[in-house]
Structure 1
């Protein structure tokens, strides 16, 4: 019979004798929804100890391997809603309410084990534990969910055994198994398990392993990185939780905040309050990018996110405390001010050095795979159906079916612009020179497809390749308009795009730049500009009989069928152009126009053909430009003009025109002239559309001094910027985000352009984009936002302190 309540209370002072053993208890839940997971097998590695979680996901596990019994009779221990016991005799348990009512009775529980208390209503309870030898009673308290011992005045005997590390293995059908390392001490755990199939997955609060990352990751919003996956994250300061979003489901942080965090004020308010410093901010959005080749995770903030180093540190700590990323998490400083933050960082050099694959031009083609050492490229004939593997980046490449380099390229390099124009695949693969997959395909006809995060290369058949070439390569002959009747130098202030058949594409587009203003002020261009029309090139050939020589050469059977012979004859033709004396009248016209170098000591004579800077044929890098300098016998006006004319017949230019089936006899060379930039502060290229995602913006590549953008040296990085054509900052038109920073030592870590210069450049490019879209004929069936120009600029201090000059603009498909 149960003892009376007063009698039970008298038993509180009896000693409690326990052994020293590690007790692991806690609750197991689904990481995706927080629901308890029942039936999970919890095993202690290297022992026979195991248990199964109950209906509420709760468990208690005792490591008997660490036991050190100090009392031969029964001993009891209470830990985390659980009673544990061991001894010589089986026990019986009774639970009484404070009024003496019996609320639970458990008999024959054995002489050792654990008992998880049921959910009891809020209040005080008495626990009566009896064996055939003795009876012990304990006072307990329930909060309605869990039960704890209210009186621990009894003596606790602990072991002096040193705790040993343990590892729990959790497993359940339909879930991924998980290992939990422990310190061998009493531990209260809350363990998340990941379900193998999550059809309605929205987010995780804990990122428990790489499988979880893969489940919710997607391609990053920036697509210029290869083999990278991304998870959008938000830290909610109100509930103190990290949210790892299912990025396949939620493409914007706002959409997640609206659906899962109750943000109901609209996207515009979200951008103004949760990306900017203000009293209403409580959410901190970011991206977590995983670089597979480096096995590193990179914390990345969009350009509009106004966040301090202290807030970055907070977010860093929250990620580390809720993920497996310890030692593998780094910040990518895509804004200069982030460089001072005291968290682990990864530089652009480290980021790209660790990558093996880079996708440049996303396209597919068929061709014969050839491995060509860079030093042999000049002497190696390559046809339009060759795919070439190069151990470096060349200055130029004739028409080929695809390019693979072992050095990473800049997206605006000449060979990538050419690949873009030809719609042929271009990629970088650092281990390409010794890649076994590529070696096995050398000399064979292959299919190559370059995608954003991977590439495919496989053997191909001639019928499938032939069908592809017939459908995708130029098939129709093109005869260009050519006006050789206009004499005299052309004042480009009075010209426009319609002069392309008179002075060529580069000069006529330059005239359109002169016609463009920002707030009524002309866009700055190089001073003293004018153009030499086709008339003088045509006259030079005719006066020397070179027009007849050209016609005979082009129809010569050996010239047509023998690449080596063709190359030699083109070289000979170029020398003939340069050897013939120049019309003295033309030299006089140019000298008068530049005041015989009185205004500037050096002038640039730039190629401008009717087969250049066109919508469907950019001719980037095909032709050559030269300078003329005062009192320099090697750089005279005559030599500069003739060398530019001769470059119309550059080997690669001829091959490129042949690929596009452009009639060579319809081509002519004009010349754009303006003062040169012998010591510029910076040079750069802008594409007035976002090459990486649909977010409206420009891509700017800019470099210090004369370091080349289009022909970069190996290992040299430039400032690469996404200049978004929007801003959440009132009164600001653009938002810059740096993708890479220039590593030129002379910069001492500074950016090439200042923020003010970026804003100024953006205004010029936006005006040019609008002007060309509305005033220059084009075939782009697109909105103004998707319309692209390829713009070249300089920053120079020769005339005034650090002035931006726009020196070229052409259509970019």
Structure 2
């Protein structure tokens, strides 16, 4: 077994890790075949919106159209179908139909013979040909039929019954269905609500329930971002500023940190939100990011070896990389030069901008200007203005900072020692903060703040030309300054935003994504602040399922939306399906605190919460309004998927950012 030595940083010195491994390790690799392929345990609805290819090709086990009673697992299996056989989606399930006119007679439908409930109803002449089937079985209170599904939920080792997420079932209908299913099934079958409405309606009925949140707790694998990667396995027990992470590594972490430099792949031993900054970065880098239970222990013997990781939605495979694969996939691409226009000097208000102005003022401001022009109904975009890239470039050159940046490339300690690099970048940002500021620009910024924005509290927000690139989002790398109230502090905030271009994490991210450091610039967006009572992020697709193009994913917290993007506490996570107008709660809020402004205008932790007793942040109506807003915003930008930051204040929806959602897989 040939092993490539790995450079690591120990006590400030670069050392080769030992190439020696005990014989037991080699035996383990031989026995395991140096290959792991595991299926996930994920809780998903057994009735997908699209049917997998070949799902109904299997010859039915039974010729019967239905069973009137399920007396054993054998009975169930004889009529149950299984989409995605041998995957975590392999939830055996069978449809049922309850005829209320026939004293709640229940038919457990042979789901190997019939695709849909309506097919069974038509084939058995329970409804006439040509009759409207949809409303009478899904929407009407006085419906004749109740239709649903019974499924085996592997994560909890139980059967559950459920209705379509768009079903407007009343409490009476749910109680009737629960009794019919359980009276004719060989073991207890709890009800699994599939929408907020169904949860609310069934909460006080006194029936056994299993919620989606409970099913998610038992996951062993979750693909936050799918893909393939070839890299050196690097198991990190404790991530601190002495750990050198290479861009050719697949890192294995016990817990998800708030930030990382670019890597080939990410494996974590603890599940997280798909809208954490780490996952947003992973999508921007186009690398796999997966949760695997006990990954740090499972892959301990692979540490420092070069492996190939293949992670899809339902399973992963990890195997030793061949020499041919290493030669092919370890090549470094050419440097990327981000586009910029340094000719424009004029400070401009958001209403004057269009999306094409992103190369002058930053995409954050330009995209908001485009939304203002499009007059999206039902939302507010806080007023503001942007300081173009020209002024950042002039500030850097006037103070001789460009020469200092060029010298870094010849400083071996700066290049190879992350602790030294971090210290020098911190010192550099401090020098930026103290450097002289153009007097004419200072006067113009303060004048614009007072005349256009009335001198009210503002956020000063970063927007670099190295963000939202085709293969690099740059999300979460730079700083914004909240609730600035004084003229002098406004100028300080602009310099802080400019200086954040040279944060350690941002610098390293650009290095490892081969972005030219001498061609990056920073603009500053000065915008009225929003004291959010609720906030979050939404994506105009299901981030778990790249084929599901119509859904809107919403992540919500109480207070300011920073709680979502910094991966602090699990937010409420919702999936909205516009076809069925249904709201599905994927996880409940696990916030212990919220961010709110204190009397000094600073964001502080507070124990105040907006979630109700059931840990819900958003109402059904709010979720639908947000989702429809997201769909309208997507339409503004050529129907390209969007990553949108939002807030709710006094019942109104505020949009503070819309950027392309980078999903290359």
Superposed pair shares fold, TM > 0.5: yes
1:525 aligns to what? 381
SS in 2 for 1:428: strand
- Taking the TM superposition and a 5 Å limit, the aligned residue runs for 1:401-480 are 401-434=264-297, 437-470=298-331, 475-480=333-338
1:286 aligns to what? 148
1:112 aligns to what? none
> 1:291: Cα distance to partner?
3.5
> 1:558: Cα distance to partner?
5.5
Indicate yes or no: 2:552 matched with 1:698: yes
Kindly provide the CA deviation profile for residues 132-188 of structure 1, in whole angstroms up to 9, marking residues without a partner as x: xxxxxxxxxxxxxxxxxxxxxxxxxxxxxxxxxxxxxxxxxxxxxxxxxxxxxxxxx
Distance 1:423 1:503, change over 3 A: same
1:586 aligns to what? 441
1:760 aligns to what? 625
In structure 2, distance between residues paired with 1:594 and 1:546:
28
1:683 to 528, 535, 540: 535
* Contact persistence 1:332–1:347 (CA under 8 A): yes
Kindly provide the CA deviation profile for residues 760-796 of structure 1, in whole angstroms up to 9, marking residues without a partner as x: 32332222111111xxxxxxxxxx4xx4111111112
In structure 1, distance between residues paired with 2:170 and 2:469:
46
Structure ranking higher in strand proportion: 1
> 1:575: Cα distance to partner?
2.9
In structure 2, distance between residues paired with 1:477 and 1:197:
55
In structure 2, distance between residues paired with 1:537 and 1:211:
71
Kindly provide the CA deviation profile for residues 615-653 of structure 1, in whole angstroms up to 9, marking residues without a partner as x: 4432111211113533598xx112211111111122222
2:177 to 295, 299, 315: 315
In structure 1, distance between residues paired with 2:326 and 2:121:
49
Indicate yes or no: 2:598 matched with 1:735: no
- Taking the TM superposition and a 5 Å limit, the aligned residue runs for 1:67-86 are none
1:339 to 195, 200, 203: 203
In structure 2, distance between residues paired with 1:465 and 1:204:
55
Distance 1:462 1:246, change over 3 A: farther
1:807 to 647, 656, 660: 656
In structure 2, distance between residues paired with 1:420 and 1:201:
47
Distance 1:593 1:419, change over 3 A: same
Distance 1:204 1:475, change over 3 A: farther
> 1:496: Cα distance to partner?
0.8
Kindly provide the CA deviation profile for residues 639-676 of structure 1, in whole angstroms up to 9, marking residues without a partner as x: 21111111112222223323332222221100112122
> 1:545: Cα distance to partner?
0.8
Distance 1:529 1:250, change over 3 A: farther
Kindly provide the CA deviation profile for residues 485-537 of structure 1, in whole angstroms up to 9, marking residues without a partner as x: 3223112211111111111121211211212224xx584112x3110111111
Distance 1:599 1:303, change over 3 A: farther
> 1:554: Cα distance to partner?
3.4
Distance 1:612 1:338, change over 3 A: farther
1:81 aligns to what? none
> 1:397: Cα distance to partner?
1.5
* Contact persistence 2:347–2:388 (CA under 8 A): yes
- How many residue pairs align between the two structures? 575
Unmatched segments (≥5 aa) in structure 2: 1-57, 592-608
TM-score by length of 1: 0.64
In structure 2, distance between residues paired with 1:523 and 1:623:
26
Distance 1:333 1:656, change over 3 A: same
Kindly provide the CA deviation profile for residues 412-460 of structure 1, in whole angstroms up to 9, marking residues without a partner as x: 22111222222222122343344xx322323322222223333222333
In structure 1, distance between residues paired with 2:120 and 2:570:
36
2:579 aligns to what? 726
* Contact persistence 1:361–1:427 (CA under 8 A): yes
Measured on the aligned residues, the alpha-carbon RMSD in Å equals 3.3
Distance 1:243 1:580, change over 3 A: same
Indicate yes or no: 2:166 matched with 1:304: yes
1:748 to 580, 588, 612: 612
Kindly provide the CA deviation profile for residues 720-745 of structure 1, in whole angstroms up to 9, marking residues without a partner as x: 22222235xxxxxx432322332446
Distance 1:719 1:340, change over 3 A: farther
Structure ranking higher in helix proportion: 2
- Taking the TM superposition and a 5 Å limit, the aligned residue runs for 1:643-682 are 643-677=496-530, 679-682=531-534
Distance 1:661 1:370, change over 3 A: closer
Kindly provide the CA deviation profile for residues 35-87 of structure 1, in whole angstroms up to 9, marking residues without a partner as x: xxxxxxxxxxxxxxxxxxxxxxxxxxxxxxxxxxxxxxxxxxxxxxxxxxxxx
In structure 2, distance between residues paired with 1:202 and 1:479:
66
Bigger Cα displacement from structure 2, 454-463 vs 642-651: 454-463
**Divergent runs of 4+, >6 A:** 200-203
SS in 1 for 2:147: strand
Indicate yes or no: 2:242 matched with 1:379: yes
- Taking the TM superposition and a 5 Å limit, the aligned residue runs for 1:177-196 are none
Distance 1:748 1:555, change over 3 A: same
2:564 aligns to what? 709
1:611 aligns to what? 466
1:45 aligns to what? none
In structure 2, distance between residues paired with 1:533 and 1:202:
72
1:770 to 626, 635, 659: 635
